[in-house]
Amino acid sequence: MNHFLLESKDIERDSFVWNMAGSLLGAFQSVILLMILTRTVDLVTAGVFTIANANSNLFLNIGKFGMRNYQVSDVRHEYSFTEYHRSRVYSLLLMLLCSVLYIVYASITNGYTLEKAMIILWMCIFKLPDAYEDVFYGEYQRCGRLDIGAKCMTIRMLATIVFFGVSVVLTKSLLCSMIVSTIFTIVLMMVLLQATKGIIQKADYNIEIRAKQLLMACFPVFAAAFLAFYIGNAPKYAIDAQLSDDLQAIYGFISMPVFVIGLLNGFIFNPILFSLSCMWDKKQLDKFTRSIINQSVIVSVITVICIAGAYVLGIPVLSILYNTDLTNYKAELLWLLVGGGLLGLSGVFTAVLTIMRHQKNLMWGYLIIAIASLLASRPAVARWGMMGAVMLYNGMMLALCGVFVVMIFIVVKKYK
């Protein structure tokens, strides 16, 4: 196992292949589990899983604290791994605290049952390993060994999906499956990290830790990521408050293809993130600009292809995958894919502004759109139902892209 994880004849190739495999499994984890749930339990439970997954991923942003891009682009090693690790421990504690506080608040305001509240809580704990291992994999990538982190991520994701699926089939209980799968994935993460963390340069843990300074540096990126995820999932929170759990499940089904666009974009963009950082650091502005434009074109092409495919096969395939008749939701699916393309573009622009070290601008851009989303989400869903949720999503994504394009243009112009 150690030989498989640590040795590579072609690091660049293995980094791309294993990062693609791990990203696929991570993105489709909830999709696969929803497919299993719709065949073993009822649609209402699938709806509970959908909102639990949305909440856990929202709080996962607190755990990661927007640090991965900052860490990988820290090519001059301004901060040591010791400092990144210590700050990640603090952010994980904050993630757990915020999860508990939110669940208590939502249980009171939305009338959650005890079982629904516990499912959401354990789903948040289930995501803790994703946040903790990320700081190690970021350091592997900074050391030029993205392949090691990608292999570990792929193994853990695959094993966890299989374990979770089997436990759901055997127990017919989402809560029980969440508990045992959480324990399993934490243990597996510890085993994989123990086998690979030796490549990280040793540091004296008694030195003065600048964790708070690092957290403050990353706070704008974290705030942007947190607000971005809230904006993207605002329709789900509005559905949770205004509509039923079965409609929540249906929205989760038709929104699944949206993340395919971002996923495919990540396959191409994540491996070149380090090289982009070097271009900016070395003042290779023309090359840097061309790379951004090329990535934006790639996202647009992927979006058009996905929309064309969804027009022909989207509803029949999703209906089969989730064992649910989705015939009446074709228009919502196609419009959501438009928003998915805008989401992919906003992700590219977010990473670019982080490399430029203008993450504070990200925070203010997301904050403005998040406030608008908070004010508009419930009225839109209450009046227009599912289509109101879809158009709200598209509007927010379009506004984000417009704001970030203006920001990048201003930064580049000042840089010149």
**Predicted confidence band of residue 107 (pLDDT cuts 50, 70, 90):** confident
In the DSSP assignment, the letter for residue 243 is: S
| Tens digit of each residue's pLDDT (9 = 90 or more) over 74-102 | 777 888 888 888 889 999 999 999 999 99
**Predicted confidence band of residue 206 (pLDDT cuts 50, 70, 90):** very low
Residue 111: left (phi > 0), alpha (psi -120 to 50), or beta?
Answer: left
As a 3-state breakdown, the chain gives helix, strand, coil percent values, each rounded to 5, of 90, 0, 10
The gap between the terminal CA atoms of the chain, to the nearest Å, is 49
Evaluate whether 385 touches 243 at the Cβ level (below 8 Å): yes
Question: Residues near 357 by Cβ (< 8 Å), separated by ≥ 6?
Answer: none
**How far, in Å, CA of 235 to CA of 254, rounded?**
13
Other Cβ atoms less than 10 A from the Cβ of 287: the count is 13
Other Cβ atoms less than 10 A from the Cβ of 85: the count is 19
In the DSSP assignment, the letter for residue 80 is: -
pLDDT at 408: 83
pLDDT at 180: 94
**How far, in Å, CA of 375 to CA of 392, rounded?**
11
Listed residue (341, 358, 353, 350) closest to 397, CA to CA: 341
The mean pLDDT of 243-260, rounded to a whole number, is 78
**How far, in Å, CA of 310 to CA of 103, rounded?**
35
**How far from chain centre, in Å, is Cα 148?**
20
**How far, in Å, CA of 359 to CA of 353, rounded?**
6
Evaluate whether 34 touches 185 at the Cβ level (below 8 Å): no
- Stated pTM of the model: 0.76
- Mean pLDDT lowest among 112-121, 132-141, 281-290: 281-290
In the DSSP assignment, the letter for residue 383 is: H
